[in-house]
Amino acid sequence: MQTQPDPALTPLPPEAPLPHRKVIRSWLIPISQRTTVRAIVMLVVDYLLFGALVTGTVLLESMWLKLLSALAAGFVIGRLFIIGHDGCHQSLTPHRRLNKWLGRIAFLPSLTAYSLWDMGHNVVHHGFTNLKGVDFVWAPLTQDEYRALPPVRRALERIYRSGWGPGLYYMIEIWWKKMMFPRKAAMGNSYRPIFAKDCALVTGFAALWIAVLGVAALTTGQSVLLTLLLGFAVPMAFWFTMMGFVIYGHHTHVKVQWHDEKAAWQRAQPFVSTTVHLTFPMQVGALMHHIMEHTAHHVDMSIPLYKLKEAQKMLEHLLPERIIVQPFSWKWYFSTARACKLYDFSRQCWTDFQGRATSAMRAPAPAMA
């Protein structure tokens, strides 16, 4: 049953100062209850789907059905990751210790190290969303930074920002550089021994996954290489692409601002102004466990994924014209990719690689209420 909005709350006029985050979060308290049974059922169902689809890449006879199973397995890896993401935010169940274990279990198929994701996502990304020099997720370069890159790295940046490269971006810039045995020297004082343990855990899972597929291929008289490609490489490639696309869509839009000064960033109330609610037809958002209702998640990370739709609806009702709501289309997506190449912090606008403005220049954010 959906929670009805508090009748005492009325929509805030668009020109009024935005309330403090604590006030906005208080509106959502009736929605944020967590349920252990529901969380465990979701995790079990998605793991069964994942196992069945990977098995299908081995046992199905048609090559097209094998490929379809591989792609669907990649999508379910994404669903499992979203469950783990909630566990990492302590929003999956009411129990802190259980959340940690469920989060680690849900993260295994995506080969995500729980403690490293916790630090990079919860502390850095949510703590400093769209603050240049701190938040590293799809952080845009300035024209000077882009020109200073070596030719190979400039070419890679063009691929990342082309609309065709979100999977490559996530695989290289996020997963490989920050989630798989990052160097102690690069992490400085933030390094903890649990990081290596979690990396070893997901590496062990990957080794077991590959070994089982290899044995299955030999047992059924199939090509080991083809079985590993369909049962492991294709699902992982789909997952990387899905994740890169999701976080790109969350924080890249001609109306989304980035900041390089902390004071201006704080005035902009970044938990509202730096996120996009992408809407999809045919319940696609529900299939992705409502992770695209992203403004509500940034306002209050404790809201479980199974309550995000209600929370997002309430925020959009109470904060009209404050939240970026974007119906998804491939036309919009590639238009955004063409516009959002670099960022000019002095003019507060997106630019192309030549430095030409591709979005409206923004005025400084008003003070909070």
Q: What are the phi and psi torsion angles at 333 (to 5°)? A: -60, -50
Which pLDDT tens digits describe the chain residue by residue (369 residues)?
Answer: 455 545 457 888 888 888 888 888 888 888 888 999 999 999 999 999 999 999 999 999 999 999 999 999 999 999 999 999 999 999 999 999 999 999 999 999 999 999 999 998 888 898 899 999 999 999 999 999 999 999 999 999 999 999 999 999 999 999 999 888 887 766 767 788 899 999 999 999 999 999 999 999 999 999 999 999 999 999 999 999 999 999 999 989 999 999 999 888 888 777 787 889 999 988 888 899 999 998 999 889 889 999 999 999 999 999 888 888 999 999 999 999 999 999 999 999 999 999 999 998 765 554 444
CA trace torsion 58, 165, 281, 3 (10° rounding)? 90
- Burial call 162-189: b when 16+ CB within 10 Å, e when fewer: ebebbbbbbbebbbeebbeebeeeeeee
Tell me how far apart the alpha carbons of residues 309 and 134 are, in angstroms, rounded to a whole number. Answer: 29
Q: Collapse the DSSP code of 343 into the 3-class scheme (helix H, G, I; strand E, B; otherwise coil) and give the result.
A: strand
Q: Which amino acid is at 283?
A: Q
How is residue 178 annotated by DSSP? I
* Region class of 223: left (phi > 0), else alpha (psi between -120 and 50), else beta: beta
Q: What are 300's two structure tokens?
A: 């209050």
Token pair, residue 67, equals 């490929």
Q: Are 149 and 143 in contact (CB under 8 A)?
A: no
What pTM does this model have? 0.91
Residue 317 contacts residue 7 (beta carbons within 8 Å): no
Question: Rg of the chain's alpha carbons, rounded to an integer?
Answer: 21
